[in-house]
Structure 1
């Protein structure tokens, strides 16, 4: 399978003094992951690093993604017992594995995966994952409504994580799908989803031209909105993604208005003006 186009970024944010997030990006092997550690300085980053290392090693040995995540849970518990990191450290994870035109997303905790599909009228954003969180449980039970989720005082309480001392066995959720043209999958920690709502994420993706541009703009928006947590973002492009000559030209041209077709029209008029001036000058 050819390597998929992708881009990844992580930042400690504007409030925290260390970064407990980390990511795994192995395009040649079709594997990406975001891990959001917890447990304080020299603990959360240890847990997330163990998750990253375990997933990487599991891919090499041929184990499937769900088994690899279960193994990372045991590895974090074992490390804490040996004095690596600290007791009670943990991590979320959301991981993407691609095999030709099929993909699998598996997760534990509240790190998310989104599917962005480019369409004629802009595009459509779909959240592929369901948070393992207290607020999600309230929402599913009907105790609160969708409009209460973002403002709920306990929205950051998760119901399970890798390394949880209360869970000898974690539940790994999985969704599977098939790539279509003009799609991206976005993996992120809650440092993005807490600061940037789905409507804003969709608007940024609608105007971004490449995974790199999308990742950078999503990161900047999270920081502009406060950067209260560590932020990690990955954007992975469908192997079927096609770029027209105009699309490729737009990637090269600098942005003026931020709207693709307006910019294209402005450059077209500028080019036409140059041609007309040259014509009248040389005739």
Structure 2
């Protein structure tokens, strides 16, 4: 008998309110998923570990810690206000680009997380053979910047609900998605064969993109334990009904839907509702 799902905790950012929930599911005994919600950094990340119970959990937790450490150090060094203006005292009139700085920071963070996990893989007996690694998908609101930066390695997903529709912003880095993109639909490979993950290889090719921050947007970060079990329209219906006041309930509903559909995998959902400058809901 699966235990009752707890109500997730709310986290209040300067421009949004977020909550997250993770569950091992109905089949697996251990949870290899982890998530991080850090209002001080403006950072939300989920990670879906692989390589067996201990390896997967270690990989996902280690990746989140490493990413947060790198982002924290970069945030402390960033100008608190720039907006793309010319940097004072620059003889070449260099334009300071918030988006470029943020992208570089996240590429560095993912690089360092991958290097840390790869070093563990090569040091621990049998870890590399078991394929210890993790996916990561995240959303960062850099300090004093009016933009959001999304980043991804693997097949954990990022969705945005805006103007009555749920849009998948991320693209699965899987052999299955690659086959679809190439039109090879006669013999599709399994859905869970990853082309990218942190840890198994010495280098990684993440996707990092910027998005405009719009009041009223709702973002969902989730592992394949959710979207692999719950149809798009059902996830959309939950996000359509979510508000700041019902955020915890919406997060809980998504996990319950995955469990009711079989819960064959660990399931993690993080929702963020963006509000107006005054901190109220739009």
What TM-score range do you get, normalising by the shorter chain? 0.7 to 0.9
Say yes or no: does 1:2 pair with 2:14.
Answer: yes
Give the match for residue 172 of structure 1. 206
**SS class of match (1:67):** helix
Whether contact under 8 Å (1:16, 1:228) holds in the other structure is yes
Give the match for residue 127 of structure 1. 168
- Of residues 215, 231, 246, the one that matches 1:197 is 231
1:84–1:221 distance in 2 versus 1, CA, 3 Å: farther
Whether contact under 8 Å (1:3, 1:29) holds in the other structure is no
Give the match for residue 155 of structure 1. 191
User: How much does 1:174 deviate?
Assistant: 1.6
- Of residues 164, 180, 184, the one that matches 1:143 is 184
Give the match for residue 185 of structure 1. 219
Counterpart Cα distance in 1 of 2:281 and 2:65: 35
- Structure-to-structure mapping, 1:214-233, within 5 angstroms: 214-233=250-269
1:84–1:125 distance in 2 versus 1, CA, 3 Å: farther
Higher relative contact order (CA 8 A, sep 6+): 2
Unaligned runs of 5+ in 1: 245-283
Counterpart Cα distance in 2 of 1:207 and 1:105: 24
Counterpart Cα distance in 2 of 1:78 and 1:134: 25
Q: CA RMSD in A?
A: 2.1
Deviation by residue 1:47-70 (Cα, 9 ceiling, x = unmatched): 111101101111221171121011
- How many equivalent residue pairs? 233
User: How much does 1:2 deviate?
Assistant: 1.8
TM-score (norm 1): 0.77
Counterpart Cα distance in 1 of 2:250 and 2:169: 18
Give the match for residue 262 of structure 1. none
Whether contact under 8 Å (1:133, 1:160) holds in the other structure is yes
Unaligned runs of 5+ in 2: 1-12, 76-104
- Structure-to-structure mapping, 1:255-274, within 5 angstroms: none
**SS class of match (2:141):** strand
**SS class of match (1:53):** helix
Structure of greater Rg: 1
Counterpart Cα distance in 2 of 1:84 and 1:36: 22
Give the match for residue 76 of structure 1. 117
Say yes or no: does 1:109 pair with 2:154.
Answer: yes
Whether contact under 8 Å (1:110, 1:132) holds in the other structure is yes
